[in-house]
Amino acid sequence: MSDEMELEEEFARAPLAQARLRRLLGYLKPYKRTMIWALALEALWVVSMLVEVELIGYAQDGPVAGGDWTGMAVLAAVMLGNVVFRAWFTVWEIRTTTRIGVEVMHAIRKDVFDHIQRLSMRYFDRTKQGRIIARADRDVDTMEHLLLWGPVVLVNLVFSMVLGFGRMCGSHASMALWIVPAIPVLWALTRTFEKISYPAYRRVRETHSSISSHVAETITGVRVVMAFSAESRELARLEKRQAAYRDAVLSSTRMSGAYVPCLLLVLQAITIVALVVGGGAVASGDMTAGGLMVLVMMIGFVLGPVEGLGGLYTESLIAGAAAERIFLLMDTDPEVKDREGVTDPGRLTGEISFEDVSFAYEPDGRHGNQLEGVSFRVAPGETVALVGHTGAGKTSIVNLIARFYEAQGGVVRVDGRDIRSISVSALHRQMGMVLQESFLFAGSVLDNLRFVRPALTEEQATRGFADLGCVEVLRGLSQGLATEVGERGANLSEGERQIVCFVRALLAHPSILILDEATSAVDTRTESLILHALNELASRQTTVVIAHRLSTIRHADRILVLEHGRVVEQGTHDGLVAAGGQYANLYREYATT
């Protein structure tokens, strides 16, 4: 995924539409009662904080001013009691809130993942991997803080403002009038700073991600950097990016660094006003010194939350955009899914037939059809090779047999039944595929084989290699079946990866085996062993092979030659060479180089 795209998403802001919000809150529904309790306790927390200030003021005027040592001791005990009581119920409150948050996040993550399992290959073709991952990963993360703490923080801030203001009105109404205009001023300040620091902060992120991508690229290509003696040039390039980053950070700090001082300016101005107005009230006997102290402390209760509310508002916009993207993914309808009335056909014989099949990756026909009226039949146990230039339609045929996609025209049949009447999972579980990219999961070799057969024993796994004539390859691995293959199999060579994929496919006991350039990276000696072994196993299942190398194709019972999405010839190797058609041309072309 390109960094710009990632930034674009990160900076997207959108208020959450009501329907989406309701859906999001739906996750909280099972916890409704508990949630209400927790919020009530949060309100109680604010009350306890106000009581603390109240008690300080009361002490100031009473026992402290009077030097009443015993009176103060009683009051201190009350204050202590307040603190202990507050801590006691807060434990329950925050534990409950975090538990709910953690469970809700768990549910959302699981739902997103499960939905991804239902999506079809066409979705994966069109959407970059990074974007799909970002949905379940970063976007859920983005919502986490808001879902976890949003309601609690909101209750806290609102209660603190309302109660503080009420208290002020009660004791000194004119002071309350002074403080009211400060609220919109602070709100405007908060929003303005959010808006003007947004592009500056964005620039910081952009310049930082340009450093990251440069570093990542240099490390990936470090062999090339060294081989071409470009170390100092790459360092100069890094430093140029770092300079841009530094400038961005400094200009952003110069701007956003003024925010807190500006807030403070307003708060302090109000404090001065409170001292002067309250001082006058004290002098005229309307207020006590302790009362003035409470008044000054109360300013924080009323005005402090404005900043918090501003932050919460921004956060809700960012989370809103993330939620929007998550729901968009969850609303994507899978293209290939079980129709009503599908059945599990039991063990398949592996007969395949195409009847006038047309297919395009882009259904709107923008790039033309990949297959055009293709018809053929493969008998159970037969081995068929697909031959043709790149783009001739070989992989499309395989993709339709595997039902990664659905054909736009014609019918694909397996065992004589329309493939759409067979449950997708039942079909896939009888299929063994060795794909062009030999994809392995991080874990041991054995783990990867257990992917298709969870109960596989080590013995059976070893036999799997033996059946393919590749026991030598298994022995060559540093720890045999226990060898860790690394992320995407990176610890194995390309050839070793292909062999593990091959064994995996055979261990699935397929009715239909599909080989898409399955031995392209295997060294020649091993390849001949595999081909020999495959010959022995051929009758166990129907085999469809895509290959460029003659050896693989020779073993096939029949060859289908494809050109521009049509089957132009079919027959055996010798027959086709003798016929002198397209296949003979391809063959000659190679033989003369």
Partner 1 sequence: MSPVPKPAEPLPDVRSARTLAKLIRRFAPLKAETSGTVLLYLARTACDLTVSWLIGVAIGMLATAHGKGALPDEFVSAVWLLAAVMVARISLMYLSTVAAAALAQQIENALRSELFAKVTSLRFTYHDENRSGKTIARSLRDMEKARHFFREVAFGYLDALLMIAGVLVASFIAHWTYGVAIALVVGTAFGLTLWIGVRIARMDRVISDNYDRVSTNLQENVAGARVVRAFGREPEESAKFGGSLGTFTGSWTALSNFWTSLTPWIGSIYPLAYPAVLAIGAWRVGRGVAGVGEIASVLFCARLVHHRLRPLTRLVIMGQEAVASATRVFEVLDRTDVIPADVNSKRLPPGGGDLVLDDLHFSHPKGPSVLRGVSLHVPAGSSLGILGPTGSGKTSLVQLLPRFYDPSSGRILLDGVDIADLDVHELRRAVGLVFQEPFLFSATVADNIAYGAPLASRERIVECAKLAAADEFIVGLPKGYDTMVGERGVSLSGGQRQRLTIARALAMDPRVLIFDDATASVDAVTERELFQGIRAAARGRTTLVISQRVTSIRWCDRIAVLEAGRVTGVGTHAEMLQMSSLYRDVLRHQQLTGAVA
CB atoms within 10 A of CB 290: 19
- The minimum distance between CB 154 and partner 1, in angstroms, equals 18
- The minimum distance between CB 517 and partner 1, in angstroms, equals 7
For the segment 558-587, give every residue that binds partner 1 (CB under 8 A).
583, 586-587
| Whether the Cβ atoms of residue 491 and residue 522 lie closer than 8 Å to each other | no
Query: Which lies closer to partner 1 via its Cβ, residue 356 or residue 585?
Result: 585
Radius of gyration of the chain (CA): 35
450 is a contact residue toward partner 1 (CB under 8 A): yes
Burial class for 170, CB neighbours closer than 10 Å (0-12, 13-18, 19+):
exposed
- Nearest-CA neighbor of 157 among 314, 304, 47, 315? 304
Query: Which lies closer to partner 1 via its Cβ, residue 212 or residue 375?
Result: 212
Q: Two tokens at 507?
A: 């261990």
Stretch that binds partner 1, among 235-243, 312-320, 368-376, 456-464 (CB under 8 A): 235-243
For the segment 132-191, give every residue that binds partner 1 (CB under 8 A).
132-133, 136-137
Query: Max Cα separation, the chain?
Result: 119
- The minimum distance between CB 566 and partner 1, in angstroms, equals 15
457 is a contact residue toward partner 1 (CB under 8 A): no
- Figure out which of the listed residues 18, 19, 26, 117 binds partner 1, where binding follows CB under 8 A: 117
- Figure out which of the listed residues 75, 175, 270, 412 binds partner 1, where binding follows CB under 8 A: 75
- Figure out which of the listed residues 19, 84, 173, 455 binds partner 1, where binding follows CB under 8 A: 84
Query: Which lies closer to partner 1 via its Cβ, residue 14 or residue 266?
Result: 266
- Figure out which of the listed residues 102, 328, 482, 579 binds partner 1, where binding follows CB under 8 A: 102
Distances (CA, A) of 583 to 144, 312, 546: 59, 68, 14
Q: What angle do CA 379, 380, 384 make, to 5 degrees?
A: 60
For the segment 465-504, give every residue that binds partner 1 (CB under 8 A).
476, 484, 486-488, 490-491, 493-495, 504
Burial class for 68, CB neighbours closer than 10 Å (0-12, 13-18, 19+):
middle
Stretch that binds partner 1, among 36-44, 191-199, 418-426, 462-470 (CB under 8 A): 418-426
- Figure out which of the listed residues 288, 370, 383, 462 binds partner 1, where binding follows CB under 8 A: 288
Contacts of 289 (CB under 8 A, 6+ apart): 60, 61, 65, 282
CB atoms within 10 A of CB 125: 11
| Whether the Cβ atoms of residue 35 and residue 101 lie closer than 8 Å to each other | no
- The minimum distance between CB 109 and partner 1, in angstroms, equals 6
* DSSP 8-state class, residue 60: I
Query: Which lies closer to partner 1 via its Cβ, residue 16 or residue 445?
Result: 445
Stretch that binds partner 1, among 23-31, 159-167, 357-365, 451-459 (CB under 8 A): 451-459
For the segment 543-562, give every residue that binds partner 1 (CB under 8 A).
547-554
CB atoms within 10 A of CB 86: 17
Query: Which lies closer to partner 1 via its Cβ, residue 161 or residue 248?
Result: 248
Query: Which lies closer to partner 1 via its Cβ, residue 36 or residue 235?
Result: 235
Query: Which lies closer to partner 1 via its Cβ, residue 13 or residue 131?
Result: 131
- The minimum distance between CB 546 and partner 1, in angstroms, equals 10
Stretch that binds partner 1, among 36-44, 411-419, 515-523, 564-572 (CB under 8 A): 515-523
Q: Give the DSSP per-residue string, 484-531.
A: B--GGGTTS-HHHHHHHHHHHHHHT--SEEEEESTTTTS-HHHHHHHH
Q: Please give the Cα distance from 368 to 565 (Å, whole number).
A: 10
For the segment 42-71, give every residue that binds partner 1 (CB under 8 A).
52, 56, 59-60, 63-69, 71
The footprint of partner 1 on this chain (CB under 8 A) covers a number of residues equal to 166
- The minimum distance between CB 15 and partner 1, in angstroms, equals 28
Quick note: the x/- pattern for partner 1 over 302-341, rule CB under 8 A, is: ----------------------------------------
Residue 367 amino acid letter: H
Q: Please give the Cα distance from 255 to 243 (Å, whole number).
A: 18
What are phi and psi for residue 513, nearest 5 degrees?
A: -110, 125
- The minimum distance between CB 513 and partner 1, in angstroms, equals 11
| Torsion over CA: 321, 326, 330, 336 (sign) | positive
Q: Two tokens at 2?
A: 């390109």
Query: Which lies closer to partner 1 via its Cβ, residue 16 or residue 543?
Result: 543
For the segment 203-232, give every residue that binds partner 1 (CB under 8 A).
211-213, 215-231
537 is a contact residue toward partner 1 (CB under 8 A): no
- The minimum distance between CB 19 and partner 1, in angstroms, equals 27
Q: Please give the Cα distance from 235 to 225 (Å, whole number).
A: 11
- The minimum distance between CB 143 and partner 1, in angstroms, equals 15
Q: Which residues of 552-576 are buried (b: 16+ CB within 10 A; e: fewer)?
A: bbebbebbbbbeebbbebbbebeeb
Residue with tokens 């196993």: 537
103 is a contact residue toward partner 1 (CB under 8 A): yes
8 is a contact residue toward partner 1 (CB under 8 A): no
Query: Which lies closer to partner 1 via its Cβ, residue 16 or residue 514?
Result: 514
For the segment 239-268, give every residue that binds partner 1 (CB under 8 A).
239, 242-243, 245-246, 249-250, 253-254, 257-258, 260-261, 264-265, 268
The 3-state DSSP class for residue 174 equals: helix
Contacts of 47 (CB under 8 A, 6+ apart): 159, 163
Residue with tokens 């006991």: 509
Q: Two tokens at 196?
A: 């003007």
Stretch that binds partner 1, among 183-191, 276-284, 322-330, 349-357 (CB under 8 A): 276-284
| Whether the Cβ atoms of residue 376 and residue 393 lie closer than 8 Å to each other | no
For the segment 362-391, give every residue that binds partner 1 (CB under 8 A).
387-390
